[in-house]
Structure 1
Amino acid sequence: MKQSIIFISILSTLLFSSCEKWLDVGDPKNAVKTSLIFEDEASLQAAVAGMYNGGNSNALGLLSLHTSMLADDLDATIMAYDQYTTNSLESNESTVGDLWSEVYVGIYRTNAILDGVPTATFSDAVKNQALGEAFFLRSFYYFYMVNLFGEVPLIKGIDRKENEVVERTPVVAIYKQIVEDLQKSIELLPVTYPVGKIQRTRVNKWAATALLARVYLYLEKYKEAEELSTEVIKQTGLYSLSNDLGSIFIQGNKEDVIFAFDVSHLGYTTVGMNTVPTSGSVPSLVIHPSLLSLFENGDARKAAWVGTSAGYAFPFKYKVRGGVGNEFDVVLRLSEQYLIRAEARAHLKDLVGAKEDLNKVRQRAKLGEVEMPSQEVALSLIERERRVEYFAEWGHRWLDLKRTNRVDEVIGALKPEFWEKTDVLYPIPNRERQLNPNLSQNEGYD
C-alpha cells in the first residue's frame, strides 16, 4: 500500500478486507457507507478483523528492527540498512513512507468501526466488543506514530475530503486522545478474549489496561502506571511469567502473552523473516556488542533468544524465517507490566517494591537478585533489564532512550560521526507532504 489513507480514495479492498472476506463499501469516490458495512454481524466481524491488519503489515512489523538499529541493540552487515544504522533517515525513504501509510490505513479502519457501530442494530455486547477493540487499536497506532514522528495528523473521522488536508496535531493532544481511547476501551471490553484464552490475537480489557499503564509511564504519571500494571499482574488466572522462554512467541502460549498480532496467514513474522539467517550464513542483522555484553553469565534469555551463525550473534526470539510456522508477533507481555511497575515505584521512591518487581523478571531468567541502594541505581538497573528483556521488540529500547532524555547521551556517544539531535524523530514522508500541503516537516529534514 503505497498511498496514505489520509489522501486515498476509499476502496473496500483497502479498508475492510480480512484474509477471509472482502466487503463492498460502495462508491470509492464517496465517504464510506458504514450502513452497508454493519448490516449484519458477519460483516462487522470481517471489519473488526480488518482493523488488525495494519498491525501485521510488513511496514509495522519492520518497526521492531528499524528502531533497534536506530538505537544500540542491532547492527547490520549489509548496506540496505545504512539509513537506520547511521541514523540518517531521509524524507524519501520508502520504509518510512510505507509505515506512515499503513498505520493510517489501520487508523481509518478503526474510525469506520467507531463511526458505524453505535447506530447499528447489534446487541450491546457485540457493539461494546467492536468499539472497545477499535478504541484500543486506534490508541495503539497513534502511540507509535506520536513517538516516532512527533506531531502527526489526529484523524478521528472518515470524511476523505476533510482528512486529506488535516494539519499536524500537538503531541499533548494526541496523548490526550490515546488516554481517552484506552479508558473507553477498558470500560467496554470484557475480561475474556474474543478468540479464546489461548490465542490472544484480539484484545480484552487487560490488554487495554496494560497499554494504558505503558502510556502513563511515558507521561510520567507514575502512580497511575503503578496502579494499572498492578491490576494486570493480579490476573493470575490469565497471566504468569513462563519459565519456558523459547515458547513465549509461539501461538498458543497462554501464560506470558497479553496481546499478539496473528500472522498465521503468512506463516512467519516479519522479524523472523529478516533476522534468521540461512544455514551457516552471515546474518543481515546482528546484535550490537554493547547489548551482547549486558547478558550476565547464566542468563536464560541469551540461550533462548540469541542465535549464532558464521561467528555472529543475531536476535532469535522468532525462529521461523519463512514457510509455515507457529509463531505470532507478540506485542504485550506480562514481564513488561512488572518492569513498568518497578520503574514507577522507583520514581515514587518505593525501592523495596521496585526491587521485588525487577527481581521477579530476573528470577525467571535464572539470575540472582540485585540490590537497589538508591533511586539512581534502581532506574539504571531497570533500564538495563528492559534492554535485555525487550531487544528487537516493538521499539522499546529506542523509545526508552527518548522518553528518558538519554538518546543524545547514548547514541551521540556511540555514533558521533552520524548523530544529530534532530534524528530523534522520523521525517514526515515527502509523498505525504506533496499530497497534503498543510503537513510541515520535522526539523533537520528537507
Structure 2
Amino acid sequence: MMKKKIISITGICIALLFIYGSGCKKMVDVGDPTTTITTEKAFTTDGTAYAALAGLYSYMLNGDGPQAITLSNGGTTVYAGMSGDELTNFLGTSNDIDYNFVSNRLTSQNDLVNSIFWTPLYKSIYNANSIIDGIAASTSNLLKPAARKQITAEAKFIRAFNYFYLVNLFGDVPLITGTDWKANAQVPRTPLADVYTQITNDLLDAQRDLPEDYAITGGERIRVNKYAATAMLARVYLYRSDWKNAETEASAVIANSQFAIDPNLDNVFLPSSKESIWQLKPASTNINIPSYEAKAFTPQMSWEKDIPEDLRPLYLDPSVFSDLAILFFPSYYMTDDLSATFEAGDQRLKAWTNFVETPNSPPYTGATAHFSSKYARQGLAATQYLVVLRLAEQVLIRAEARAQQGNLSGADEDLNKIRTRAGLHTVSSSSKDNALAAIAHERRVEFFSEWGHRWFDLKRTGKAIEVLGSLSYKKITATQLLYPIPLDELQSAPSLVQNPGY
C-alpha cells in the first residue's frame, strides 16, 4: 500500500493561497514547513483538486494580492518591453529601478527582477509540482480518473509555461519538478537544453491528455486545452529552431475551426474573439483593472477625448504641459522608434494605441507619444480578459518556419493574412532573408506591448546587440541579454551561480 505523502505548506500554497492572499516561500529556498497537510486531505475529491487548480490559475493573474504586479498579469509586457525597444517609463531616470530596464543596466539587487519574475515563476512551479505529486500520491476513490488526468495535464502545462519564461529571462535555471523543500534548495542551475526538454515533455503530455474544446468552462477560453498546449509547443519549437515541428504544431492550431483571425481589430482582445486560444479571467473583485497592463497603459485623462482641438495649443505651451503631462501620459508608453515603425495606413496604430501630443520645444520633441490601448480600465462587469495565446502568433510562427525551410510562397500567404487584417497591402518575398525581415517587422507591430515578444524575438534571432546597440539610451552588451539572478536567491542557495557580467 502506498504510504501517505506529506506536502510541505500545501495548506497555504494550494488550498488557501488565494483566499488569504498568502504565498509560498521562495521556490529554491522554501524553508522549514510550518503547516502540512496530507495528500488525502488536499486531493481527496474532484472538488478539492479542482480548487487547488483554480488557485494555480488565480495566482497567474492576481499574484500575491489584488492589483499586485507579477510576470503573468502584465509584468513581462512592461519590463521585458522596456528591456527591448518597445517601452519607456514616464518618470525616466527619477525612477531608477524602472529605468534600469530601459537602459539595460540591471543589477542583482533590483527588487523587481525578484518580485516580478524569479519568485512568482518558482511559486507557480512549486504549486504545479504540488498538484502533480499530490494527485499521483492520492489513494482516494473520490478523486476520479478523469479529474486526475485533466488536472495533472493542466498543471504540467502551467509548469512548462513558467519554465519557458524562466529560461528566456535568466538562461540556465534550477529545474525542479518535485516538492521536497530540502532537495530543492540544493539544486544547481540546469543547462538550458535540459530545461527545454522538460518543457517539451510537459507540453506533449498536456497535449495528449487535455480536451480539445472549452466545454469545461462553458465555452470561455480561460483554461488551457489541447490547442493551448499545441500553440506553446509551436512557440517552443520555433525558439529551438526546429522549423519542421514548429510548422506542424502551428498548422494544427490554424486548421482547427474553433479559431479564426478576427477581421475586426476592435474585437481581438474581447472574451468572445475566436482568435483567442487562452485567456486569464479577472476575479470579480478585480474587474476595474483586469491586469497590470490596463493600469500601466491607461492615463488619467484622454488627450483625444478630453481636450478639444481648439484648446490644444494652450495645453502645448511647454510651461503648461509640464505641469499637466502626468494626466495625459500613462506610466509606460511606446518609444518613438516603435511608433515610427508602423507603416502608413496600418490600422493597428489607430485601433490598439492611444496618444498624446507634445510641445515642440525641449525637453519634448513635438512628436506624438503613443501607448498601448489593447486593454483598458473597466466598469462593474469585466469586458476584457487577459489574452495569453492567440492565433495571430501561430500564423506568424508558421510563416517564419516556412521561410526558414525555403517555402517563401507559404510564408507570404501567412504573413499577408495578418497584414490584410491590419489594412495593409500584400507582399511578395524575393528571398529568405527578405521574408524573415518582413515577418520580424510584422511580429513587432502585431505583438507590441504583449508578453515581451519583441525582447525575446531580438534575443532568439541574434539581433539584440545590433538593434538595441544603435539606440543612444541603451548600454546593451551580450551579458545583459539575461537578467541577473536575484541577490537574495544567491545568498540563500549556495548552489546557484550568477549570470556573467553581474
Structure-1 residue corresponding to 2:452: 395
Distance apart, 1:352 and its partner CA: 0.7
Aligned length: 434
Structure-1 residue corresponding to 2:11: 12
In the alignment, which of 332, 339, 350 is matched to residue 292 of structure 1?
Answer: 339
Structure-1 residue corresponding to 2:316: none
Distance apart, 1:108 and its partner CA: 0.8
Structure-2 residue corresponding to 1:4: none
Report SS of the residue matched to 2:82: helix
> Does residue 145 in structure 1 map to residue 166 in structure 2?
yes
Structure-2 residue corresponding to 1:112: 130
Question: Which piece of structure 1 moves more, 374-383 or 312-321?
Answer: 312-321
Alpha-carbon separation, structure 2, partners of 1:286 and 1:178 = 33
Structure-2 residue corresponding to 1:274: 296
Alpha-carbon separation, structure 2, partners of 1:76 and 1:283 = 9
- Tell whether the 8 Å contact from 1:34 to 1:112 is kept in structure 2 after alignment: no
TM-score (norm 2): 0.82
Structure-2 residue corresponding to 1:253: 272
Structure-2 residue corresponding to 1:208: 229
Structure-1 residue corresponding to 2:76: 63
In the alignment, which of 182, 193, 196 is matched to residue 175 of structure 1?
Answer: 196
Structure-1 residue corresponding to 2:256: 235
Distance apart, 1:323 and its partner CA: 7.3
Distance apart, 1:30 and its partner CA: 6.6
Report SS of the residue matched to 1:53: helix
Distance apart, 1:127 and its partner CA: 1.3
Structure-2 residue corresponding to 1:102: 120
Alignment of 1:234-383 (within 5 A): 234-236=255-257, 238-250=258-270, 252-265=271-284, 266-267=286-287, 268-280=290-302, 281-311=328-358, 312-320=369-377, 325-383=382-440
- Cα deviation, 1:396-429, whole Å, max 9, x if unaligned, reads 0000000001111111111476222211000000
Structure-2 residue corresponding to 1:3: none
Report SS of the residue matched to 2:470: helix
Distance apart, 1:192 and its partner CA: 1.7
**Kindly tell me: are residues 435 and 15 of structure 1, through their superposed partners in 2, closer, same or farther at Cα, counting changes over 3 Å?**
farther
- Tell whether the 8 Å contact from 2:11 to 2:35 is kept in structure 1 after alignment: no
State the Cα RMSD in Å.
2.2
Alpha-carbon separation, structure 1, partners of 2:272 and 2:20 = 27
Alpha-carbon separation, structure 2, partners of 1:136 and 1:85 = 31
In structure 2, runs of 5+ residues without a counterpart are 1-6, 25-31, 64-68, 303-327, 359-368
Identical counterparts, % of pairs = 39
Given residue 76 of structure 1, which amino acid in structure 2 is its aligned partner?
Answer: N
Question: Which piece of structure 1 moves more, 194-203 or 104-113?
Answer: 194-203
Alignment of 1:16-55 (within 5 A): 16-17=15-16, 19=18, 28-29=33-34, 33-55=38-60
**Kindly tell me: are residues 288 and 417 of structure 1, through their superposed partners in 2, closer, same or farther at Cα, counting changes over 3 Å?**
closer
Structure-2 residue corresponding to 1:435: 492
Distance apart, 1:77 and its partner CA: 2.0
Alpha-carbon separation, structure 1, partners of 2:220 and 2:457 = 28
- Tell whether the 8 Å contact from 1:11 to 1:28 is kept in structure 2 after alignment: no
Distance apart, 1:9 and its partner CA: 6.8
Distance apart, 1:364 and its partner CA: 1.2
- Cα deviation, 1:200-251, whole Å, max 9, x if unaligned, reads 1110000000000000000000000000100000111x1111122222222x
Alpha-carbon separation, structure 1, partners of 2:349 and 2:108 = 36
Report SS of the residue matched to 1:317: coil
Given residue 297 of structure 1, which amino acid in structure 2 is its aligned partner?
Answer: A
In the alignment, which of 211, 215, 220 is matched to residue 241 of structure 2?
Answer: 220
- Tell whether the 8 Å contact from 1:275 to 1:283 is kept in structure 2 after alignment: yes
- Tell whether the 8 Å contact from 2:153 to 2:205 is kept in structure 1 after alignment: yes
Alpha-carbon separation, structure 1, partners of 2:455 and 2:134 = 37
Distance apart, 1:362 and its partner CA: 1.0
TM-score (norm 1): 0.92
- Cα deviation, 1:159-197, whole Å, max 9, x if unaligned, reads 111112211111010000000000000111010225436
Larger radius of gyration: 2
